[in-house]
Amino acid sequence: MPNSKITIFDHPLIKHKISLLRDKNTGTKDFRTLIEEIATLMGYEALRDLPLENVEVETPICKTMSPMVSGKKLAIVPILRAGLGMVNGILALVPSAKVGHIGMYRDEVTHLPHEYYCKLPENIGERTIIVLDPMLATGGSAVDAVTLIKQRGGQHIKFMSIIAAPEGLKLLSETHPDVEIYCGNLDERLNENCYIVPGLGDAGDRIFGTK
Ligand code: PRP
Ligand code: URA
């Protein structure tokens, strides 16, 4: 799937932490911590082109103009519920970023996404937007979330998932070729219930301790 807009991470720390996430014996507390830590590690790379602005700083020697990240120009948009788990990991890097929310759930039978909530920061068209969801399975939720953001004026959109299936990566990159996609790992396939194999199970349930 050669596409310059897709980044699949090969950093050993990300690989190590994803293996811990996959383990069915990893409990809620550790699972949450790992999701956050992986989001921070991935965010470091995904935010490489963040806009900078020169601000005046006074060093012990003299005044100078020095570049700083303008958090006002960034919007983080988790897809509820599981995307929420990644928010603090990104805010650790850019604490003043604005946060929007998109609520989506997958129908258990059809596996199609249904939107139930959308609230985005103001001036969304002027911001770099990072959509967060740990799981990119069929890609339906990601595609619909990006479409919704575009309908509301969003233009510069990145999508970050911790685990992706080839099916979801293909659908998202073909439907929204302008979107930069960052995946912690590309897994093998989907199973008959559209869960990622080997995956990590249901991310929302594992983050929030439901089920
Ligand atoms: C999960 C996950 C994604 C979606 C991925 O959410 O967090 O949003 O499934 O599947 P897709 O790529 O096939 O659309 P789910 O619908 O289970 O909702 P939840 O986060 O509230 O549990
Ligand atoms: N959603 C999840 O949480 N896990 C999967 O494997 C697929 C969709």
Q: pLDDT digit string (tens) for 86-125?
A: 999 999 999 989 999 999 999 989 999 999 999 999 999 9
Per residue in 38-52, pLDDT tens?
Answer: 999 999 999 998 888
**Is residue 186 lining ligand 1, measured as CB closer than 6 Å?**
no
* Active-site option among 28, 64, 110, 210: 110
Q: Are 146 and 173 a contacting pair, CB within 8 Å? A: no
196 annotated as belonging to a binding site for a ligand: yes
- 188: its two tokens: 């093998």
Q: Please tell me whether 203 is known to bind a ligand.
A: yes
Non-local CB neighbours of 63 within 8 Å, separated by 6+ positions = 56, 57
- Quote the pTM value: 0.95
Angle 85-91-95 (CA atoms, 0-180°, nearest 5)? Answer: 155
